Structure 1
Amino acid sequence: MNKEKIAFLVDSGSNVPEEIVKLGNMKVIPLKIIYNNEEFTDNVDITAQDVYDRLEEEIPKTSLPSGETITEMLEEIQSEGFEKVICVTISSGLSGTNNMVRVVAEQFKDLDIFTVDTKNIGIGSGLIAVQAYTYVAEGLDWEIIKTKLEEDVAKSKIFFHVPTLEYLQKGGRIGLVASVLGNMLNLKPIITCNEDGVYDTVAKIRGSKKSVQKAISLAVEFAGTAKKYHLAIAYGGKTAESQVAGIRAELKKQLPLFDKIYEGQISPALGVHTGPGLIGIGVCIVEP
């Protein structure tokens, strides 16, 4: 246990790298994947590929974790002797998880709970949890950690290449006309989260290969003149996974000052809304 007795609570939509979760003191709040006749727990008994394999027969819905689940996790943290908790969640502009955690946290008067609204999703949010773990491991003061994490929200970004607009449209994320016209013209949107933490289309590129390259160039632009940063490659399904090696090589070439590169499959919950083939390029600036 760290000297400050700090634990971590993150949601599954943040896609915190498994290697960080396994380091200990970190519990993952699972979102829910709901079909007409059955329900699954995000990244526990269902994968993104499982979701894709069933999309033709049914597009599931996603839901927030229950307040009871969050309460039980915080009770476990308290029983394990921790006095402080850092909660990292995906954007409050995309999910009610952040607000639910804040409401439940008010019941725990003996725990000092700090909740971070990352204004991000997927590994873009998860990279904030990586920073939180790093600060605690370095032994930084609690108040300094909180200040730095608030500042880090603006330093983390993910750019998603989305191969089809179909599932964003069906999920109400974009308009029907935009979806139809985009698919007719073979336009592939690059999506990120804006300052308010909601989806924002920052580019529309014709063709998948050029779209992925654009996502990389946007990540390079975001990193700017930073001297040190973490990178991440998130992918949805087998087809996207096959592109990771080439993307990794390109990132290393264009962003050579990286400290670590994290790679992993997106959460099933994100896959529901974006469909197969999603590729995300994430950047978290560590040193300006």
Structure 2
Amino acid sequence: MQKIAIITDSSCDLTIDEIKEYNLNILPLKIIYKDREYNDIFDIKPIDVYENLHNEVPTTSLCSPDYINSVLDKLEAEGYTHLIGIFISSSLSGTFNAARLVIEERSSFKSYLFDSKIIGYPLGSIVIKAAEFVKEGKSFEEIIEALPSIREATTGFYTLNTLEYLRRGGRIGKVAGTVGDLLHLKPIISVDEHGAYTTIAKARGRKQSLKKLASIILEHLDECKCNVAILNGMAEEEANQVLDSISSHPNLLKSQVRAIGAAMGVHAGPGMVGVSIQKEI
């Protein structure tokens, strides 16, 4: 009999309650200050990051091999036979490769690792769907066969109040950030086919960028029924405004407003508003 574990990393931006509800195993990214470090999700909240940005902008780092091994030891002791790992885009983080190196050394599990080529709650929504399949009794083979189509049905878009934090983290080129700031252009950011950040549109100013984000959501809803999550980093009021502007669409299934996690907040900074869209599966 198969006993299937789902493992992911903390960039999925799921809550502690969701992690417990779906029996997920999390590899936390590290949030590092000069004199201390924290495990994302478990040891630090987004507000802690935002409130300290004027003193120090932390960095993020991968989960250690020792931590990964401790998670695997726990799963082995609990009798798990199969492991499905679903991780942040390998173009944005070394987490996928770090996990692969450790997990592939373990012969006690039959494992499958999936590079989601996405980040944030879009990743989290893929993880939840896989966990729901486990609860429904689907086999290891059925779940891994379904993952590419779940990913294909899932997308995400973001706009930032400032590009400063992405620039500091090396996630976008300095020139793109400088030009955008000077012209007050706010890019709408997504990921390309390789899972790297790409600008899909630009708007002049904050108000127009939020309108553009809403229009992108409506374009997807015009095509098919979707679940939509509006994401924010200390911008809940604006996130609710975006949700209000699309809430009457007949193809909107479930909708919610969610806060991004601490590690995401390091790179996005305060004021991020985004969306996770998942077509009906």
Q: Could you say whether these structures have the same fold, taking a TM-score greater than 0.5 normalized by the shorter chain as the test?
A: yes
CA–CA distance in 1 between the matches of 2:105 and 2:191? 31
1:272 counterpart (260, 266, 272): 266
Q: Distance in 1 between matches of 2:222 and 2:243?
A: 18
2:226 is equivalent to residue 245 of structure 1: no
Distance in 1 between the 2:215 and 2:75 partners? 41
**1:131 partner amino acid:** K
SS in 2 for 1:144: helix
Identity over aligned residues, as a percent?
38
Offset of 1:17 from its aligned partner? 4.7
For the structure 1 residues 24 and 285, does the alpha-carbon distance in structure 2 shift closer, same or farther, using more than 3 Å as the test?
closer
Matches within 5 A, 1:1-288: 4-223=2-221, 225-227=223-225, 229-237=226-234, 240-254=235-249, 256-287=250-281
CA distance in 2, matches of 1:133, 1:261: 20
- Give TM-score scaled by structure 2 length: 0.93
**CA distance in 2 between partners of 1:75 and 1:187 (Å):** 49
Distance 1:87 1:258, change over 3 A: farther
| RMSD of aligned alpha carbons | 1.8
Alignment length (residue pairs):
281
Which runs of 5 or more structure 1 residues have no equivalent in the other structure?
none
**CA spacing shift, 1:86–1:16, aligned 2, 3 Å:** farther
Quick one: distance in 2 between partners of 1:177 and 1:26? 40
Report deviation, 1:222. 3.9
Deviates more, 1:61-70 or 1:183-192: 183-192
Letter in 1 for 2:258: G
SS in structure 2 of the partner of residue 195 of structure 1: coil
Report the alpha carbon displacement of residue 190 of structure 1 after superposing the two structures with TM. 0.8
Q: Equivalents in 2 of 1:223, 1:130: separation in Å?
A: 21
Alpha-carbon spacing, 1:214–1:17, altered in 2? closer, same or farther (3 Å): farther
Cα pair distance change 1:135/1:259, threshold 3 Å: farther
Cα deviation for residue 82 of structure 1 reads: 1.6
CA offset digits 1:57-85 (Å, max 9, x no partner): 21111100001111110111111122112
- Whole-angstrom distance in 1 between the partners of 2:258 and 2:67: 25
Note the C-alpha offset of 1:88: 1.4
User: TM-score w.r.t. structure 1 length?
Assistant: 0.91
* SS in structure 2 of the partner of residue 246 of structure 1: helix
Unaligned residue ranges in structure 2 (runs of 5+): none
Alignment CA distance shift 1:251-1:245 (3 Å): same
| C-alpha distance in structure 2 between counterparts of 1:261 and 1:22, whole Å | 21
- Measured after TM superposition, the shift of residue 226 of structure 1 is 2.5
CA contact (8 A) 1:235 1:278 kept: yes
Contact 2:221 2:251 in 1 (8 A): no
